[in-house]
Amino acid sequence: MSATVQQTQGQPDTIVLIHGMWMTPRSWQGWIARYEQAGYRVIAPTWPGLEGGVEALQKDPTPLNNLGVKDIVDHYERIIRALPTPPILMGHSFGGAFVQMLLDRGVGAAGVAIHSAPVKGVYTLPFTTIKSTASTLLNPANVKRHAPMTPEQFHYAFTNTLTQEESDEIYRTQYIPGSGRALFQGALANLTPRSEVTVNLRNDARAPLLFLSGDLDVILPASIQRENAKRYAKSSAVTEVRRGARPLALHRGPARLGGHRGPGLELGRGARRRPQLKFPVLKETRGVSPRASPGDPGSTLPGGFGSSSQRSSRQSCGTPRVPTRHRASPPGIPVHVPTSVLPPRRRVPLGHARARSAHRRGSLQAPDAVAVAPRRGRARGPRGGGPGAHLRAR
């Protein structure tokens, strides 16, 4: 992706960092120092009206009331267009959605959406995302108010990889309430005809875009990032998605993502690629393992179903079968893993013709019950046979 940026726009020398909801530019402190040491000019503008800082907004969050997505994106567009050269845009959480919208407007040389909020057209909605925002979205009156979070909610949604003490410290020094209007606009984008969180997913002139997702992110997990990237499939513009980083801890500064060679695309504390593990294929089997020999101790399944004679005898006396899984293993070393056991004996209705057929064959469909033929003639009282029959447990 970096090569594409160099070929199309030249080497960008400026990075614009866009923070997400419930945060301020203070969350980028470690990132700013890192990129400045690498020779970049770094700017991290705040959302419009939030220039007062964390402490002031914690005491008086009224500037967040009725602050919409369009107001925020227009604010960033004015700042970026005033720069001498197109910068690299990097946005976290809601800032990732703003990066997508800015690139769609032709602003920026490249974009990095880190744990991005979805734009219109992304329908994945995990339960953890709903739980993280339910305290605000369940009350429609919050659309014109600010969207607060308690320390416990903040720990669940943002700092779930840290201890409660570490989370409380970040909550005290970096947290601010969110914007109820912007949160409702993002959550209801797919239900709004002219949503402000709309992006032209077929825009071929858009600058390159990279999605970074975290394995342990709660509020915006990797499934949202994957679908968001797939929505750009009909565009010829460069779109990539990288997975394998833990949730960002922006306050700790960036750490290099293993295996990445692009300039300055880095993730937060503890970032690393998780190893790709391959497991043997599990197949549902009944009876004797095809790899087992008669003398092997594993040739008999749990419950004594090692041979056809054993199976028939067990069925006739009503012992339930035990389904097992056969895992691929070297010859002569079968592995049988019981997965379930049939429920206990019970009375199950059985049709008249089916009961007679079962008696005539001398076999039963269910190994844990016997069929009783209905009495002939009229039913007498509650014990009459009637036209139906049943299975009666022994």
Answer with the residue of higher pLDDT: 361 or 287: 361
Answer with the residue of higher pLDDT: 281 or 97: 97
Please provide the DSSP assignment of 196-241 as one string.
Answer: SS---TT-TTPPPEEEEEETT-SSS-HHHHHHHHHTTTT--S-EEE
Q: What is the pLDDT of residues 53-90, one digit of tens each?
A: 899 999 999 999 999 999 999 999 999 999 999 999 99
Q: What is the pLDDT of residues 223-242, one digit of tens each?
A: 999 999 999 999 999 999 99
* Residue 291 clears pLDDT 60, i.e. is over it: no
CB count, 10 Å around CB of 290?
A: 10
Mean pLDDT (the chain, rounded):
73
From CA 303, how far away is CA 282, in angstroms rounded?
Answer: 20
Residue 182 tokens read as 């912007």
The domains found in the chain, sorted by start residue, are 2-252 (3.40.50.1820), 282-338 (no CATH), 348-392 (no CATH)
From CA 171, how far away is CA 164, in angstroms rounded?
Answer: 10
User: Angle 127-137/180-187 helices, nearest 10 degrees?
Assistant: 140
* Mean pLDDT of all residues in 116-141: 92
* Residue 252 clears pLDDT 70, i.e. is over it: no
* Mean pLDDT of all residues in 329-350: 45
From CA 146, how far away is CA 67, in angstroms rounded?
Answer: 9
User: At 377, is the pLDDT very low, low, confident or very high (cuts 50, 70, 90)?
Assistant: low
Answer with the residue of higher pLDDT: 41 or 254: 41
Torsion angle of alpha carbons 226, 228, 230, 233, nearest 10°?
Answer: -150
Residue 220 tokens read as 């915006």
User: At 215, is the pLDDT very low, low, confident or very high (cuts 50, 70, 90)?
Assistant: confident
* Residue 157 clears pLDDT 80, i.e. is over it: yes
Provide the pLDDT for residue 126.
92
Q: Which of 13-27, 34-48, 159-173, 352-366 has the lowest mean pLDDT?
A: 352-366
CB count, 10 Å around CB of 43?
A: 16
Provide the pLDDT for residue 366.
45
User: At 220, is the pLDDT very low, low, confident or very high (cuts 50, 70, 90)?
Assistant: very high
From first CA to last CA, the distance across the chain in angstroms is 70
Residue 288 DSSP symbol: S
The answer to whether residues 128 and 216 touch, using CB atoms and an 8 Å cutoff, is no
From CA 57, how far away is CA 25, in angstroms rounded?
Answer: 13
Answer with the residue of higher pLDDT: 348 or 284: 348
Provide the pLDDT for residue 357.
60
CB count, 10 Å around CB of 174?
A: 20
Provide the pLDDT for residue 371.
44
* Residue 370 clears pLDDT 50, i.e. is over it: no
Its pTM stands at 0.62
From CA 215, how far away is CA 274, in angstroms rounded?
Answer: 8
Angle at 117 between CA 161 and CA 198, to 5 degrees: 180
From CA 270, how far away is CA 247, in angstroms rounded?
Answer: 8
Q: Are strands 336-338 and 324-327 parallel, antiparallel or unpaired?
A: antiparallel
Provide the pLDDT for residue 256.
36
User: At 52, is the pLDDT very low, low, confident or very high (cuts 50, 70, 90)?
Assistant: confident
User: At 185, is the pLDDT very low, low, confident or very high (cuts 50, 70, 90)?
Assistant: very high
Nearest to 320 by CA among 286, 297, 349: 286
Looking at 144-259, list the stretches that DSSP marks H as alpha helix, in order from N- to C-terminal side: 151-157, 164-174, 180-187, 222-230
Residue 32 tokens read as 């700013």
From CA 314, how far away is CA 310, in angstroms rounded?
Answer: 6
Q: Are strands 282-285 and 324-327 parallel, antiparallel or unpaired?
A: antiparallel
* Residue 355 clears pLDDT 60, i.e. is over it: no
* Residue 184 clears pLDDT 90, i.e. is over it: yes
From CA 144, how far away is CA 180, in angstroms rounded?
Answer: 6
Determine the 3-state secondary structure of 112 from DSSP. Answer: strand
Residue 69 tokens read as 């997505």
